[in-house]
């Protein structure tokens, strides 16, 4: 029985707090050695005291002094992107759980890989931007990359024990809840408010990911992420709407067999499996009663009404820096929607315009090229919004 010594980057968000629940229930399997947050000073300090953590990082460097005042003198406080990288390199850690929203987790992820730390990845933007680099370096270093997103964790579980390689996989099928507008007529989407977009029917998540779930950009990002995690082409990655969020994803093999992973909707399930893999450990999480559930419902996504999926397939197929620009343009458009500068459909309309204007480049492992095109996509998106 192995205890993982884990650094949690993004500890105050929904994934981070769920990871801390897993650590509390399974102290023999998971010890938290470092925590990082963006700007939630009070919550980060409370977590550090409760879990007796001696290393913390605040990404917002302007509030580091406030954090130090709330912590014992023996706690080392780091700051900014370099602080995240230092936590990722901690000698006493053997796993880094990355749950930072956006692109800020990329450099810390690469730092962890260079130090031979296993990764538990919940920040899909990292693999969308630089999947080729991240997965290539992980293979070189012999580092395990374990998915924490419920969908990718489900696929990972369905692939366990399969010896035939990706050529025997016919499709990876990601499930989507459909979000709050699954049945909303297309002509009404123009009038969607921020409050409505933040009412997810299944999951309690942060603002950005909740809006992405409403537009289906979250599922588009997951399609690209799956391409790199599992070494499979975009044409073999599909999406099905499953509003009950019980089947978390499926793998179809070339003989027609489909394997699925089912569990209650609780992020502690995939986090625990990532931390305890390859073992399965008993817990107090709710178990499914299939007779009580009675039936499971599946639907075809509304590809025309929610173009995020089509744009993701195109970006992932083109490759190079196009996925990074897909992600960057979406981040800008979502913020504009939050700020009241863009309508709900304006999010995907802006991304579509950006991807039709910019030209993707092969980056050949050069992060500088990715970051340049990420910045270009953001600038282009803002030009369409303003």
Question: What pTM did the predictor assign?
Answer: 0.94
In a domain, 298, yes or no: yes
Cis peptide before 185 (omega within 30 of 0): no
CA-to-CA distance for 163 and 152, rounded, in angstroms? Answer: 19
> Pick from 148, 166, 195: which residue ends a domain?
148
Do 170 and 305 belong together in one domain?
yes
Mean pLDDT computed over every residue of the chain: 95
In a domain, 281, yes or no: no
Q: What is the mean pLDDT of residues 141-163?
A: 95
In a domain, 272, yes or no: no
Q: What is the mean pLDDT of residues 288-313?
A: 97
Do 85 and 13 belong together in one domain?
yes
Do 364 and 258 belong together in one domain?
no
Percent of the chain with pLDDT over 90: 91
| Domain limits for position 366 | 319-386
Beta-ladder partners of 5? 31
Write the CB contacts of 70 (distance below 8 Å, at least 6 apart in sequence).
41, 42, 45
Residue in this structure with the two tokens 């009580």, named with its chain if needed: 292
In a domain, 333, yes or no: yes
Do 15 and 132 belong together in one domain?
yes
pLDDT in tens, 301-318: 999 999 999 999 999 999
Do 214 and 177 belong together in one domain?
yes
Total domain count for the chain?
Answer: 3
pLDDT value at 157 more than 90: yes
Do 225 and 206 belong together in one domain?
yes
Residue 29 belongs to domain with CATH number: 3.40.50.720
SS (H, E, C) 74-110: CCEEEEHHHHHHHHHCCCCCCEEEECCCCCCCHHHHH
| pLDDT level of residue 204 (50, 70, 90 thresholds) | low
Instruction: Give pLDDT, residue 29.
Output: 97
In a domain, 273, yes or no: no
Q: What is the mean pLDDT of residues 273-278?
A: 96
Single out the residue of 13, 12, 17, 9 nearest to residue 33, CA to CA: 9
Instruction: Give pLDDT, residue 167.
Output: 86
Q: What is the mean pLDDT of residues 103-115?
A: 93
Instruction: Give pLDDT, residue 102.
Output: 72
């Amino acid at each position: 029985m192995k205890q993982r010594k884990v650094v949690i980057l993004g500890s105050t968000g929904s994934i981070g707090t769920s990871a801390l629940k897993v650590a509390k229930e399974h102290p023999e399997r998971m010890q938290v050695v470092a925590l990082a947050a963006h700007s939630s000073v009070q919550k980060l300090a409370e977590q550090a005291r409760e879990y007796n953590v001696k290393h913390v990082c605040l990404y917002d460097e302007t509030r580091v002094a406030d954090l130090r005042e709330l912590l014992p003198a023996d706690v080392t406080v780091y700051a900014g992107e370099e602080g995240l990288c230092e936590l990722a390199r901690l000698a006493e850690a053997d796993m880094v759980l990355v749950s930072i929203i956006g692109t800020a987790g990329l450099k810390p992820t690469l730092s962890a890989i260079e130090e031979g730390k296993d990764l538990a990845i919940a920040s899909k933007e990292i693999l969308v931007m630089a999947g080729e680099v991240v997965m290539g370096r992980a293979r070189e270093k012999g580092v395990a990359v374990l998915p924490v997103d419920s969908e990718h964790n489900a696929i990972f579980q369905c692939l366990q024990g399969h010896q035939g390689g990706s050529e025997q996989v016919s499709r990876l099928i990601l499930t989507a809840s459909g979000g709050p507008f699954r049945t909303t007529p297309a002509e009404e989407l123009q009038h969607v408010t921020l409050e409505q977009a933040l009412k997810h029917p299944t999951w309690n998540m942060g603002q950005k990911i909740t809006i992405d779930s409403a537009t289906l950009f979250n599922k588009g990002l997951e399609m690209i992420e799956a391409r790199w995690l599992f070494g499979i082409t975009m044409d073999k990655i599909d999406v099905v709407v499953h509003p009950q969020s019980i089947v978390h994803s499926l793998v179809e093999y070339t003989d027609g067999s489909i394997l699925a992973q089912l569990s209650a909707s609780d992020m502690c399930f995939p986090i625990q499996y990532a931390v305890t893999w390859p073992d399965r450990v008993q817990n107090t999480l709710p178990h499914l009663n299939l007779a009580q559930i009675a039936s499971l419902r599946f639907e075809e996504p509304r590809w025309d009404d929610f173009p995020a999926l089509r744009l993701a397939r195109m970006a992932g197929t083109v490759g190079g820096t196009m996925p990074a620009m897909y992600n960057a343009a979406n981040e800008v458009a979502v913020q504009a929607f939050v700020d009241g500068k863009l309508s709900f459909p304006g999010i995907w309309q802006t991304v579509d315009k950006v991807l039709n204007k910019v030209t993707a480049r092969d980056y050949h492992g050069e992060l500088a090229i990715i970051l340049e095109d990420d910045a270009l996509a953001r600038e282009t998106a803002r030009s369409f919004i303003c």
